[in-house]
Amino acid sequence: MTDKEKIALLAETIEADEEALKPEALLADIEQYDSMGKLSIIVMMEDEFGVKLDSDTVKSFVKVGDILALMKKDA
C-alpha cells in the first residue's frame, strides 16, 4: 500500500481533506483529529491492518506520518 493510498484511507476514515494529511502535518492542526476521529482510526487500524492500538499509542501520535508508519498489511 502506497502512502497515497494510506492517506486516502485515513482521509476517508476521519472525513478530512487528503491535501491536509501530508505525512509531516501536525495532527493537532487537523480539525477532524478529535475524539471521534481517534476512535475511527483505532477501529480502522484493527479492521484493515489487524493492528490493535492502545490509548498510549494514540496519545503518542504527533504527525500524520506516525499513523502512516503503523498502516502495514503484515497481519
- pLDDT, one tens digit per residue, over 15-69 is 999 999 999 999 999 999 999 999 999 999 999 999 999 999 999 999 999 999 9
Task: Specify the pLDDT at position 52.
Answer: 94
Give the pLDDT band (50/70/90) at residue 14.
very high
End-to-end CA distance of the chain: 13
Classify 3-70 by CATH class.
mainly alpha
Give the pLDDT band (50/70/90) at residue 74.
low
- Please say if the pLDDT value at position 75 is more than 80: no
Could you state, in order of their start, the residue ranges of all structural domains in the chain? 3-70
**Strand pairing partners for 63?**
26
68 CB contacts (<8 Å, ≥6 apart)? Answer: 3, 6, 7, 10, 23
